[in-house]
Amino acid sequence: DAKTTQPNSMESNEEEPVHLPCNHSTISGTDYIHWYRQLPSQGPEYVIHGLTSNVNNRMASLAIAEDRKSSTLILHRATLRDAAVYYCILRTTTSGTYKYIFGTGTRLKVLA
């Protein structure tokens, strides 16, 4: 199965942009790139996903490299509530079924 690699931790100042990188060099052509985040003592929650093109939603933007071997989650203005563990995930398709492969995540610390 394809894997994702992320830095263990990152820091950002409040109200500044944050770029969270992810490497997925063994990604397959049908694998979707997902990002989830997990707040303390909660289950992960969806942030954004994409296949080939860059994506924007109200929470974040996702920039996908042209060769799809890496991606970057962009939080445009970090707030203290954005402090969480961010997971870069591949949704893979095997024999017509779908499963999600999580990386180990990046712990984002936001400084006031």
Partner 1 sequence: DAGITQSPRHKVTETGTPVTLRCHQTENHRYMYWYRQDPGHGLRLIHYSYGVKDTDKGEVSDGYSVSRSKTEDFLLTLESATSSQTSVYFCAISEPVTGWNEQFFGPGTRLTVL
CA distance 106 to 103: 9
Strand order of the sheet with strand 55-56? 18-23, 70-75, 61-64, 55-56
CA distance 35 to 27: 15
Identify which of 112, 93, 91, 111 has the alpha carbon closest to the alpha carbon of residue 103: 91
CB nearer to partner 1: give 10 or 101: 101
Q: Does 43 bind partner 1 (CB under 8 A)?
A: yes
Q: Does 52 bind partner 1 (CB under 8 A)?
A: no
CB nearer to partner 1: give 72 or 104: 104
Q: For partner 1, which residue of 19, 100, 109, 111 counts as binding (CB under 8 A)?
A: 100
CB nearer to partner 1: give 1 or 11: 1
Q: For partner 1, which residue of 75, 87, 108, 110 counts as binding (CB under 8 A)?
A: 87
Q: For partner 1, which residue of 7, 10, 21, 49 counts as binding (CB under 8 A)?
A: 49
Q: Give the shortest CB-31-to-partner 1 separation in angstroms.
A: 11
8 CB-contact burial (10 Å; exposed 0-12 / middle 13-18 / buried 19+): exposed
